[in-house]
Amino acid sequence: MTTAPVTPDISQLSTRELQARVRALKQELNAVILAHYYTLPEIQQVADVVGDSLALARAAQKNTADVIVFAGVYFMAETAKILNPGKLVLMPDADAGCPLADSCPEEEFRAFRAANPDAIAITYINSTAEIKALSDITCTSSNAEHIIRQIPEGQRIIFGPDRNLGAWLAKRCGRDMLIWPGYCYVHDAFSEAFMLQAMAMHPGAELIAHPECREEVLRHASFVGSTQALLDYTQKSPSTSFIVATEPGIIYEMELRSPGKSFIPAPKDPANPRSVCRQMKLNTIGRLYLAMVNRQPEITVDPVLAEAALKPIARMLEMSA
């Protein structure tokens, strides 16, 4: 007999109270909470590990918890489950998908590979388990360049599903890659015109950008890097002000690490100034608490699919050790 969710009424509980209950449940369940930098501060404050996609995949691989609670988007929790088939993996909201990952349907990608049989497929971790299973190596924005540089010259490469990251990597590594045309709606929303306007408004600020942004934006940035690399850069740079062209959730940690510096979210357009990942923001403290109380939504992956998808993830972890 399965137990129905108890769904306690949390409407009267403050964020602080919910956070205290989450911390207590963590002990009770021997759970680890992994949260992406794009989640809300209320989530980051209770997480055991806050990181970018690579750091979170590594944390999912190396932990002694019985339960992994993943506050991020679906492909991240799915990756954690693939790395830990025997553990209970929960998400605060299983509807928190990644539109970039969903922009690469399995059958179309299979046909793309079949049309280029001599090419190896390196795919961004922002992809479904089915796409990972069709790939040779997974990568994140933190290790993609390092991985591509290990591929012998002359070996053709398929890269997917992010066209902007693919174009940036092709240029950085001097490789002519076959790139899948997907994109992240959050990063792709930034335009050159509004970026130039922001730079003119804040002449002392450095523009820093994630490689999921379009080339017309990246070409004006003084630094381009993954979420973690951007964070590290803001600590090291002597500048005191930055225009941040990525998901603004990272600004919470940037401010914590560099209290004297100012961080301006890059404008999407004058009417809608920031470009926010709606899926990441589905992770609220209330949903996180209920997921831990109810032990659901649970993330499951078909074992045969998981075994195939594990290979490129394991290859990535080996190549970026």
Q: Give the residues lining the site for ligand 13P (CB under 6 A).
A: 52-53, 126, 140-142, 184, 212, 226-227
103 binds, among ligand 13P, ligand SF4, none (CB under 5 to 8 A by kind): none
Q: Are 98 and 107 in contact (CB under 8 A)?
A: no
Q: Which long-range contacts (CB under 8 A, 24 or more apart) does 103-108 make?
A: 103/161, 103/182, 103/183, 104/128, 104/131, 104/160, 104/161, 104/180, 104/182, 106/130, 106/131, 106/134
Burial bucket for residue 178 (CB in 10 Å: 0-12, 13-18, 19+): middle
- Pairing state between β 88-90 and 67-71: parallel
Told to check if 277 binds ligand SF4 by CB under 6 A, we report yes
Residue 126 or 228: the one with the smaller Cβ distance to ligand SF4 is 126
Q: Is 292 in the site for ligand SF4 (CB under 6 A)?
A: no
Q: Is 98 in the site for ligand SF4 (CB under 6 A)?
A: yes
Closest distance of CB 121 from ligand SF4, Å: 19
The DSSP bridge pattern shows strands 49-51 and 120-124 to be unpaired
CB of 293 vs ligand 13P, minimal distance in Å = 27
- Closest to ligand 13P by CB, 109 vs 124, is 124
| CB of residue 220 to ligand 13P, shortest distance in Å | 19
The entry of ligand SF4, ligand 13P, none near residue 99 (CB within 5 to 8 angstroms by kind) is ligand SF4
Distance CA 231, CA 244 (A): 10
Should residue 78 be labelled a site residue for ligand SF4 when binding is judged by CB under 6 A? no
Identify whether the C-beta of residue 286 lies closer than 8 Å to the C-beta of residue 18: yes
The nearest distance, CB 133 to ligand 13P, in angstroms, is 20
Task: From the list ligand 13P, ligand SF4, none, pick the one residue 143 interacts with, judged by a Cβ distance below 5 to 8 Å according to partner type.
Answer: none
Q: Which of 41, 99, 273, 286 binds ligand SF4 (CB under 6 A)?
A: 99
